Amino acid sequence: MRMMSAPDHRGPPSLQTRLQAGSRRLPQLVAGPVALVAIVLCGLLVPVPQFASADDAKRPGMMPIARDTPLTEKHVYPPGVALGGFDGAYTEGTVYKPSAVAGSRVAFWASEPGLLRSFNYPIDEFVYVLEGDVVTIDADGTRREFHPGDTFIIPKGWVGTWDMKTPFKKIIVNF
């Protein structure tokens, strides 16, 4: 049950009281319209793509990448890179090589379990782990573990070890 307060016989609130009450509500009253104006302005500032010209028909379209892309490129790391009983064999399937930047590519890479050593990684590489587990140890002793779904960057010049504990598959972007 709602309680009723006694009637206030002091008269209407003063101008100062009304202004103070309004200043507490001002952020609430302004936030909605300001957000709407920001959304409209952003919409006006972002160019809307046009697809009507003949030149647009010559531009490349989106390129879906199948997770089951065949890994047809067979390679072996040179002696000293593969450690222990690991033979250093791995396979790749390059899915895209942009023409603008030499050495850039998107590829799938896979290997059986094994240990690799990097003395000076030759490129920057973005990695998305698809299958398996890998443990890396940086030159300073920092140990990291990566599992399916993890992403990371191998920076150009990286020194350390790469220990694949299980069969390992990743998608890479060299840049």
Residues 6+ positions from 122 with CB-CB distance below 8 Å = 156
- d(CA 71, CA 130) in angstroms, rounded, equals 14
For the chain, the structural domain boundaries read 73-174
Tokens standing for residue 59: 């531009």
Per-residue tens of pLDDT for the chain, all 175 residues: 445 555 555 556 665 555 555 555 545 544 555 444 444 444 545 555 555 566 666 777 888 888 889 999 999 999 899 999 999 999 999 999 987 788 899 999 999 999 999 999 999 999 999 999 999 999 999 999 999 999 999 999 999 999 999 999 999 999 9
Q: Which fold has domain 73-174?
A: Jelly Rolls (2.60.120)
Full-prediction pTM beyond 0.85?
no
Among candidate residues 108, 143, 147, 148, the one with its CA nearest the CA of residue 125: 108
